[in-house]
């Protein structure tokens, strides 16, 4: 179940406000300029190739490209048996921004986007069926957990793909990681 935990950025140890209701999550994020939607997924083989995934969701990808000017789409997938999982996890754990919207549609699995919005941090535990679009310039980070298991479609306006500008702030280290929030969400 998708979970939104809202933390006080100045007092991250305080108990967060938590909701698991998709409509409320969408409303709260939309009020802050973040797109969040639940989309139906289609059955695909566990070993589906990226080309097959992109073809299966070609209509949705075309719609997003037309709406927002995205130029490219790709698939990122990670499993617990990946020998570089720790390196991949660390790459996204520090607060950063992008010069374009960061769009992810979760075809399977889960991960947490932390959005640093003013005096609050919105931790969105995305799961299969979730589409999130983090607006350009938004301070955020992503935690896939120590045993990552997800497949996402990503869309970009920059053909180079994922390019981050790290803020140098250490707020990400002060908030609960995936392991702590995952346990709380069950």
Distances (CA, A) of 62 to 10, 16, 142: 40, 37, 25
**Residue 186 corresponds to which tokens in the numbers above?**
């069950």
Classify residue 110 by burial, with Cβ atoms within 10 Å: 0-12, 13-18, 19+: buried
Whether residue 10 is annotated as binding a ligand: the answer is no
Among residues 109, 154, 153, the alpha carbon closest in space to that of 127 is found at 109
Question: Is residue 140 annotated as involved in ligand binding?
Answer: yes
Q: How are beta strands 139-143 and 102-117 bridged, if at all?
A: antiparallel
Which residues have a Cβ under 8 Å from the Cβ of 108 and sit 6 or more positions away?
Answer: 41, 128, 149, 150, 151
Assess contact for 156 and 98: CB atoms under 8 A.
Answer: no
Q: Is 102 annotated as a binding residue?
A: yes
For residue 6 the two structure tokens come to: 């809202």
Annotated binding site: 96, 98, 102, 140
Task: Could you list the residues known to form a binding site for Fe(2+), using ranges.
Answer: 96, 98, 102, 140
Annotated binding residues for Ni(2+): 96, 98, 102, 140
């Amino acid at each position: 179940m998708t979970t939104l935990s809202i933390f006080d950025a100045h007092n991250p140890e305080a108990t967060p406000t938590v909701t698991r209701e998709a409509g409320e999550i969408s409303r709260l994020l939309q009020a802050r300029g973040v797109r969040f939607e639940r989309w139906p997924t289609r059955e695909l083989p566990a070993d589906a190739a990226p080309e097959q995934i992109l073809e299966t969701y070609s209509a949705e990808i075309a719609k997003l490209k037309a709406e927002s000017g995205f130029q490219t789409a790709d698939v990122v997938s990670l499993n617990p048996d990946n020998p570089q999982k720790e390196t991949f996890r660390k790459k996204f754990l520090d607060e950063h921004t992008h010069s374009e919207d960061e769009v992810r549609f979760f075809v399977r699995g889960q991960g947490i986007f932390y959005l640093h919005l003013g005096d609050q941090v919105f931790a969105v535990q995305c799961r299969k069926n979730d589409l999130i679009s983090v607006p350009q310039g938004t301070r955020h980070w992503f935690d896939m957990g120590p045993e990552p298991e997800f497949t996402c479609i990503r869309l970009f306006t920059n053909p180079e793909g994922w390019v981050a500008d790290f803020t140098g702030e250490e707020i990400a280290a002060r908030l609960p990681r995936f392991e702590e929030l995952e346990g709380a969400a069950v």
